[in-house]
Amino acid sequence: QHSAMPRLLPLLLLACAASAAAFLAPATAAPSLNTMACRSAGSSDMRSSVLSMTSINKKAKAAKNKAKSSSAVTKRFKATATGKLLRHKAFRAHILTKKHPQRKQRLRRTSAVDETQLDTMRKLMLVVPKKK
Protein backbone atom coordinates (compact mmCIF):
# COMPACT_ATOMS: atom_id res chain seq x y z
CA GLN A 1 0.00 0.00 0.00
CA HIS A 2 2.77 2.46 0.83
CA SER A 3 4.47 1.88 -2.54
CA ALA A 4 1.31 2.84 -4.49
CA MET A 5 0.87 6.15 -2.66
CA PRO A 6 3.76 8.06 -4.33
CA ARG A 7 2.49 7.03 -7.79
CA LEU A 8 -1.10 8.11 -7.13
CA LEU A 9 -0.27 11.46 -5.52
CA PRO A 10 0.62 13.30 -8.78
CA LEU A 11 -2.51 11.93 -10.45
CA LEU A 12 -4.64 13.09 -7.53
CA LEU A 13 -3.13 16.58 -7.65
CA LEU A 14 -3.70 16.76 -11.42
CA ALA A 15 -7.35 15.75 -11.02
CA CYS A 16 -7.88 18.37 -8.30
CA ALA A 17 -6.33 21.09 -10.47
CA ALA A 18 -8.48 20.13 -13.46
CA SER A 19 -11.69 20.10 -11.45
CA ALA A 20 -10.85 23.45 -9.83
CA ALA A 21 -10.35 25.02 -13.27
CA ALA A 22 -13.88 23.97 -14.23
CA PHE A 23 -15.36 26.14 -11.48
CA LEU A 24 -13.51 29.32 -12.49
CA ALA A 25 -15.30 31.92 -14.63
CA PRO A 26 -13.83 32.36 -18.12
CA ALA A 27 -11.95 35.56 -18.86
CA THR A 28 -14.03 38.05 -20.83
CA ALA A 29 -11.31 40.28 -22.21
CA ALA A 30 -11.89 41.93 -25.58
CA PRO A 31 -9.89 40.27 -28.37
CA SER A 32 -6.99 42.26 -29.70
CA LEU A 33 -6.62 43.27 -33.33
CA ASN A 34 -4.02 40.57 -33.95
CA THR A 35 -6.28 37.77 -32.78
CA MET A 36 -9.18 39.15 -34.82
CA ALA A 37 -7.01 39.32 -37.93
CA CYS A 38 -5.81 35.76 -37.39
CA ARG A 39 -9.35 34.53 -36.91
CA SER A 40 -10.64 36.19 -40.06
CA ALA A 41 -7.71 34.99 -42.14
CA GLY A 42 -7.72 31.45 -40.80
CA SER A 43 -11.43 30.71 -40.71
CA SER A 44 -12.47 30.92 -44.33
CA ASP A 45 -14.67 27.85 -43.92
CA MET A 46 -16.71 29.70 -41.28
CA ARG A 47 -17.20 32.70 -43.58
CA SER A 48 -18.26 30.50 -46.48
CA SER A 49 -20.91 28.77 -44.38
CA VAL A 50 -22.31 32.12 -43.31
CA LEU A 51 -22.37 33.47 -46.86
CA SER A 52 -23.91 30.33 -48.33
CA MET A 53 -27.34 30.95 -46.78
CA THR A 54 -28.56 33.48 -49.32
CA SER A 55 -32.21 34.10 -50.03
CA ILE A 56 -32.00 31.83 -53.08
CA ASN A 57 -30.66 28.98 -50.98
CA LYS A 58 -33.31 29.56 -48.33
CA LYS A 59 -36.05 29.39 -50.96
CA ALA A 60 -34.56 26.21 -52.41
CA LYS A 61 -34.37 24.64 -48.96
CA ALA A 62 -37.97 25.64 -48.23
CA ALA A 63 -39.10 24.12 -51.53
CA LYS A 64 -37.47 20.80 -50.60
CA ASN A 65 -39.18 20.65 -47.20
CA LYS A 66 -42.48 18.79 -47.25
CA ALA A 67 -45.34 21.05 -46.21
CA LYS A 68 -47.54 19.83 -43.36
CA SER A 69 -51.20 20.64 -43.16
CA SER A 70 -52.63 21.83 -39.89
CA SER A 71 -54.31 18.87 -38.24
CA ALA A 72 -56.63 21.17 -36.29
CA VAL A 73 -57.96 22.70 -39.50
CA THR A 74 -58.27 19.38 -41.34
CA LYS A 75 -60.44 18.05 -38.51
CA ARG A 76 -62.83 21.01 -38.65
CA PHE A 77 -63.20 21.70 -42.37
CA LYS A 78 -63.95 19.65 -45.47
CA ALA A 79 -62.72 20.74 -48.89
CA THR A 80 -65.04 20.46 -51.88
CA ALA A 81 -63.87 19.66 -55.41
CA THR A 82 -64.02 23.32 -56.38
CA GLY A 83 -61.85 24.42 -53.44
CA LYS A 84 -64.54 25.71 -51.12
CA LEU A 85 -64.36 24.72 -47.47
CA LEU A 86 -67.36 23.46 -45.53
CA ARG A 87 -67.74 23.83 -41.79
CA HIS A 88 -70.18 23.01 -39.01
CA LYS A 89 -71.87 25.84 -37.18
CA ALA A 90 -71.16 26.69 -33.56
CA PHE A 91 -73.54 26.73 -30.54
CA ARG A 92 -74.79 23.20 -31.15
CA ALA A 93 -72.84 21.30 -28.47
CA HIS A 94 -74.57 22.01 -25.15
CA ILE A 95 -77.14 24.21 -23.42
CA LEU A 96 -79.72 23.34 -26.07
CA THR A 97 -82.87 23.47 -23.94
CA LYS A 98 -83.27 27.23 -24.16
CA LYS A 99 -82.63 27.33 -27.91
CA HIS A 100 -85.63 27.31 -30.21
CA PRO A 101 -86.06 24.16 -32.36
CA GLN A 102 -85.88 26.19 -35.56
CA ARG A 103 -82.62 27.73 -34.42
CA LYS A 104 -81.20 24.28 -33.66
CA GLN A 105 -82.40 23.12 -37.07
CA ARG A 106 -80.50 25.96 -38.74
CA LEU A 107 -77.40 25.14 -36.70
CA ARG A 108 -77.45 21.53 -37.92
CA ARG A 109 -76.74 22.63 -41.47
CA THR A 110 -73.22 22.94 -42.81
CA SER A 111 -72.08 26.22 -44.25
CA ALA A 112 -69.20 27.44 -46.37
CA VAL A 113 -66.23 29.28 -44.91
CA ASP A 114 -66.44 33.04 -45.43
CA GLU A 115 -64.32 34.65 -48.14
CA THR A 116 -62.35 36.61 -45.54
CA GLN A 117 -61.07 33.41 -43.91
CA LEU A 118 -60.94 31.19 -47.00
CA ASP A 119 -57.36 31.93 -48.09
CA THR A 120 -56.01 31.38 -44.58
CA MET A 121 -57.76 28.05 -44.14
CA ARG A 122 -56.73 26.87 -47.62
CA LYS A 123 -53.10 27.56 -46.79
CA LEU A 124 -53.41 25.66 -43.52
CA MET A 125 -55.12 22.71 -45.24
CA LEU A 126 -52.86 22.83 -48.33
CA VAL A 127 -55.95 23.01 -50.56
CA VAL A 128 -55.48 24.40 -54.06
CA PRO A 129 -58.70 25.63 -55.68
CA LYS A 130 -59.64 24.65 -59.22
CA LYS A 131 -58.70 27.07 -61.99
CA LYS A 132 -61.70 28.83 -63.50
What pTM does this model have? 0.48
Angle at 35 between CA 30 and CA 36, to 5 degrees: 80
Does a structural domain hold residue 50?
A: no
CATH (domain of 102): 4.10.410.60
Residue 78: predicted pLDDT:
92
The pLDDT tens digits of the residues spanning 87-110 come to 999 999 999 999 999 999 999 999
Residue 97: domain span:
71-125
- Residue 79 β-bridge partners: 85
